[in-house]
Amino acid sequence: MSVSINLIDNATRPTTAAAKAPAADGKPPLIGLTREELGDALVDAGIIPARQARMRAQQLWHWLYVRGVSDFSEMFNISKDLRADLARHFSIARPEIVEEQISTDGTRKWLFRFPPRGAGRPVEIETVYIPEEGRGTLCISSQVGCTLTCSFCHTGTQKLVRNLTAEEILAQLMTARDRLGDFPDRDTPAGAIVPAEGRKVSNIVMMGMGEPLYNFEAVKKALLIASDGDGLSLSKRRITLSTSGVVPEIVRTGEEIGVMLAISLHATNDDLRDMLVPINKKYPLKDLIAACRAYPGLSNARRITFEYVMLKDVNDSLDDAKALVRLLQGIPAKINLIPFNPWPGTNYQCSDWETIEKFADYINNAGYASPIRTPRGRDILAACGQLKSESERLKKTERLALEAMMIAGHGE
């Protein structure tokens, strides 16, 4: 991959149509509510009688999640008067797209701005789209910043500003679908859900900024809506939630959300994991592995992904590979090796390619699928662990330093 920092140009600037007015109007959002809450909200606002609650909720659900509309005026089977009432009371607007960047490898990164909640300030978060052969994965953020301070993670150097709401988590998916043309055209017959095979966003991963299990309720609500078969309709098998190891919420994730699980493991003994992933001090490996074994629905067809970042001379020896295989014994697992993505100010380096391959071969021979995650979108700082908010964006000098680091890197 050539290394170049893609500055935004006019070709990649969002059109005004897609970057509709932010929901800064202070009206409560309808996106992110359950069907029941949706009906109740309309009744409570006094714009429909209680007996219509279910029917109206269903109607709106379809417009919001199947058709993807972001303006009440497009809901042509709802009377003009009711549309006007809806618009007076509620918001279904998309967030503002502050920036859209497209990497040399096709990866896209959006910087979204969400309006203040309560007395707070507007917040900005990043969402990344990774197109691959036969599928496209959207990497979604769950928090603005992160309270955890994994030592190799750029997001971890940014303080937590706040949790995202269910609406804001869904807005990332819905705005990406707008931009990628994943909602049906206006002239598609009503009722048609775009089939999974034809979609740009076929998979989602909760692997953006933040620790999703520290924002359990909002993440749960958003993912249940994303996987609802009469709406956004993403299969739960195509949704992966990655956690650094919030042990008490792991089994709940399987029971209440039912999506695929990924664990940011990165080390096979407590001493090293305490340093790399400090939440390990609270929930050590023994507890983490026990929670994984208890994850509902585990089978060879539904395996846990263990993420393992390759840090030069830190966790990349053959002994580490052996310890990894021992640790995971008996758990249906795949191991995802992530070449470390550098960021300005880090003391870590990525393992040499040869070392990564040897490591991968060992665990492969031990019977585990062990794909090496190809770094994507590094030129736009969209790779794992590189996300940060606009407020913390790189200064020009830092960008240049990063560029130099990547050129000096392991020769991609």
150 catalytic per annotation: no
Q: Which ranges in 129-215 belong to alpha helices (H)?
A: 166-180
Type of residue numbered 373: R
Distance CA 251, CA 218 (A): 17
Is 207 one of the binding residues for ligand SAH (CB under 6 A)? yes
Catalytic residue among 99, 100, 124, 126: 126
**Residue range at the interface with ligand SAH (CB under 6 A); choices 16-24, 51-59, 204-212, 222-230:** 204-212
Min CB(272)–ligand SAH separation in Å: 14
Between residue 58 and residue 77, which ones bind ligand SF4 under the rule CB under 6 A?
none
Is 152 one of the binding residues for ligand SAH (CB under 6 A)? yes
Output 148 or 257, the one with its CB closest to ligand SF4: 148
Nearest by Cα to 351 from 336, 333, 339, 369: 339
Exactly one of 338, 381, 402, 406 binds ligand SAH (CB under 6 A); which one? Answer: 338
Partner whose binding site includes residue 107, from ligand SAH, ligand SF4, none (CB under 5 to 8 Å by kind): none
Angle (nearest 5°) at CA 159 between 157 and 165: 125
Distance CA 292, CA 304 (A): 8
Exactly one of 223, 384, 402, 406 binds ligand SAH (CB under 6 A); which one? Answer: 384
Q: Which 3 state secondary structure label does DSSP give 24? A: coil
Catalytic residue among 150, 292, 350, 384: 384
Between residue 385 and residue 404, which ones bind ligand SF4 under the rule CB under 6 A?
385
Is 33 one of the binding residues for ligand SAH (CB under 6 A)? no
Distance CA 134, CA 129 (A): 14
* Residue that the structure tokens 């580490």 belong to: 320
Torsion of CA 271, 277, 281, 284, to 10 degrees: -80
Distance CA 141, CA 211 (A): 9
Are the beta carbons of 244 and 286 closer than 8 angstroms? Answer: no
384 catalytic per annotation: yes
Q: Which 3 state secondary structure label does DSSP give 264? A: strand
Partner whose binding site includes residue 341, from ligand SF4, ligand SAH, none (CB under 5 to 8 Å by kind): ligand SAH
Nearest by Cα to 297 from 248, 260, 336: 260
Is 156 one of the binding residues for ligand SF4 (CB under 6 A)? yes
Output 91 or 264, the one with its CB closest to ligand SF4: 264
**Residue range at the interface with ligand SF4 (CB under 6 A); choices 6-14, 105-113, 149-157, 359-367:** 149-157
Q: Summarize as ranges the residues that interact with ligand SF4 (CB under 6 A).
A: 146, 148-150, 153, 155-156, 210-211, 244, 264, 385
Q: Summarize as ranges the residues that interact with ligand SAH (CB under 6 A).
A: 150, 152-154, 207, 210-211, 242-244, 264, 307, 309, 338, 340-341, 384-385
